[in-house]
């Protein structure tokens, strides 16, 4: 490496992880690709030429290549709402589709990554629907603000090809998600809505929960492929949850993807509570408009949460 001082590649781990997550839709897969990127960079450090590109640009070239390789021959990571129409049966069997590579949430607290609209679940899910190279161009140009020439170098293509790919990606994602209307999780209005939701959920008060929902609120639960739209079915499904899993739940407030997230602990017959789901909320205009409920235990690991809690040992953060 032609530097007077060695470069600490670890300084870039957080932003590379966010980039790879946007590309791959999986936090765990992104961790693996970032580790591969940093290892490849270390092995190639003597060949790095600062006259040709900054360290950051060079690392993104390696990371982009690794992501594109990981995506070869692989389908997108969806949410249930990307696979078909909503269910109209709140009593439908909750059979997980474990063969589907579902999207995963991004744990904000573990990394110093600025919460931005381009980490929102809806945006990342939408990005998964476009071809991998278009996806790379979109994220590198629009999110990370590399120049067209830099992206051309990272992808081994021309500036004209980059501009064309960006135009196609923008057209494919036009109007997705209305992300400009989504407030940050620490916005006072958002916090107030989330806290009311927590109190109502812990009280198993379905009418109170329904009052917090937008008319067309969406509830989905990967790895279960079905999903619901509308206050009525959302409320009927919650009533089913409390009827079958009992009341007396405990919720913990966190964030994921720059959105409010609730860790839901279900009561256990022998005492205590066990981690049941992670619920990533979208709050818009003082109402809950979206709730993605992650029920796969493999997703829980990224958040470092205790699997079992006892209320007396669980400080409430409200």
Verify that 241 and 160 share a domain, yes or no: no
In the predicted model, what is the mean pLDDT of the chain? 90
Verify that 187 and 62 share a domain, yes or no: no
Over pLDDT 90: what percentage of the chain?
75
Verify that 64 and 83 share a domain, yes or no: no
Kindly tell me if the per-residue pLDDT of 318 is higher than 50: no
CB-based contacts of 146, cutoff 8 Å, min separation 6: 57, 60, 140, 154
Mean pLDDT along residues 19-37: 96
Kindly tell me if the per-residue pLDDT of 317 is higher than 50: no
Q: Using the 3D structure, point to which of 113, 146, 172 is the last residue of a domain.
A: 172
Verify that 162 and 242 share a domain, yes or no: no
Mean pLDDT along residues 220-234: 96
Kindly tell me if the per-residue pLDDT of 114 is higher than 80: no
Backbone φ and ψ for 311, nearest 5 degrees, come out as -55, -40
Q: Worst-scoring range by mean pLDDT, 33-37, 46-50, 125-129?
A: 46-50
Mean pLDDT along residues 151-168: 95
| Domain contains 28 | yes
| Domain contains 115 | yes
More confident residue, 114 or 128: 128
Total number of domains constituting the chain:
2
Verify that 18 and 42 share a domain, yes or no: yes
pLDDT at 180 (0 to 100): 54
What is the C-alpha to C-alpha distance for residues 196 and 209, in angstroms, rounded to an integer?
Answer: 8
pLDDT at 68 (0 to 100): 96
What's 82's domain CATH number? 3.10.450.50
pLDDT confidence of 171, banded at 50, 70, 90? Answer: very high
CB-based contacts of 17, cutoff 8 Å, min separation 6: 30, 31, 34, 111, 113
Mean pLDDT along residues 277-303: 94
For residue 199, with 0-12 CB atoms within 10 Å meaning exposed, 13-18 middle and 19 or more buried, which class applies? middle
Q: Worst-scoring range by mean pLDDT, 138-147, 178-187, 236-245, 250-259?
A: 178-187
What's 56's domain CATH number? 1.20.140.160
pLDDT at 305 (0 to 100): 93
| Domain contains 206 | yes
| Containing structural domain, residue 236 | 76-129+175-318
Mean pLDDT along residues 21-41: 95
More confident residue, 3 or 84: 84
Verify that 107 and 249 share a domain, yes or no: yes
pLDDT confidence of 115, banded at 50, 70, 90? Answer: very low
| Domain contains 1 | no
Verify that 102 and 179 share a domain, yes or no: yes
Mean pLDDT along residues 28-33: 96
| Domain contains 222 | yes
Verify that 190 and 316 share a domain, yes or no: yes
Verify that 161 and 199 share a domain, yes or no: no
| Domain contains 102 | yes
Kindly tell me if the per-residue pLDDT of 312 is higher than 80: no
More confident residue, 289 or 182: 289
Kindly tell me if the per-residue pLDDT of 18 is higher than 60: yes
Kindly tell me if the per-residue pLDDT of 217 is higher than 70: yes
pLDDT tens per residue, range 54-105: 899 999 999 999 999 999 988 889 999 999 999 999 999 999 999 999 999 9
**For residues 279 and 202, is the Cβ–Cβ distance under 8 A?**
no
More confident residue, 225 or 174: 225
What is the C-alpha to C-alpha distance for residues 33 and 61, in angstroms, rounded to an integer?
Answer: 13
Verify that 19 and 42 share a domain, yes or no: yes
DSSP conformation class of 107: B
pLDDT confidence of 313, banded at 50, 70, 90? Answer: low
Q: Worst-scoring range by mean pLDDT, 38-42, 80-84, 182-186, 188-192?
A: 182-186
| Domain contains 2 | no
Verify that 164 and 181 share a domain, yes or no: no
Verify that 167 and 50 share a domain, yes or no: yes
Q: Crossing angle, helix 27-43 and helix 13-24, to 10 degrees? A: 130
């Amino acid at each position: 490496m032609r530097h007077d001082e060695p470069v600490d590649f670890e300084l870039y781990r957080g932003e590379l992880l966010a980039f790879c997550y946007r590309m791959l839709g999986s936090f765990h897969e992104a961790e693996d690709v970032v580790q591969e990127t940093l290892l490849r960079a270390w092995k190639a450090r003597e060949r790095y030429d600062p006259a040709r590109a900054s360290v950051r640009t060079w690392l993104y070239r390696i990371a982009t290549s690794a992501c594109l390789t990981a995506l070869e021959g692989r389908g997108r990571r969806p949410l249930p709402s990307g696979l078909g129409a909503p269910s109209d049966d709140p009593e439908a069997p909750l059979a997980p589709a474990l063969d589907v590579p579902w999207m995963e949430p991004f744990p904000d607290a573990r990394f110093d990554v600025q919460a931005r609209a381009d980490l929102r679940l809806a945006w990342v899910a939408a990005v998964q629907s476009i071809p991998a190279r278009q996806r790379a161009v979109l994220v590198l140009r629009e999110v990370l603000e590399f120049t067209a020439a830099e992206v051309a170098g990272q992808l081994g293509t021309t500036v004209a090809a980059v501009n064309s790919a960006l135009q196609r990606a923008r057209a494919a994602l036009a109007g997705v998600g209305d992300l400009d209307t989504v407030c940050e999780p620490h916005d006072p209005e958002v916090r107030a809505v989330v806290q009311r939701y927590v109190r109502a959920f812990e009280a198993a008060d379905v009418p109170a929960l329904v009052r917090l929902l937008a008319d067309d609120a969406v509830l989905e639960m990967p790895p279960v492929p079905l999903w619901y739209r509308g206050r009525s079915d959302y409320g009927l499904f919650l009533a089913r949850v409390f009827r079958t899993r009992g009341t007396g739940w405990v919720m913990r407030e966190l964030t994921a993807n720059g959105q409010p997230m609730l860790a839901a602990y279900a009561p256990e017959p022998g005492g205590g509570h066990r981690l049941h789901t992670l619920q990533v909320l979208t709050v818009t205009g003082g109402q809950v408009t979206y709730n993605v409920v992650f029920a796969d235990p493999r997703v829980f690991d990224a958040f470092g949460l205790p699997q079992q809690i006892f209320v007396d040992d669980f400080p409430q953060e409200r």
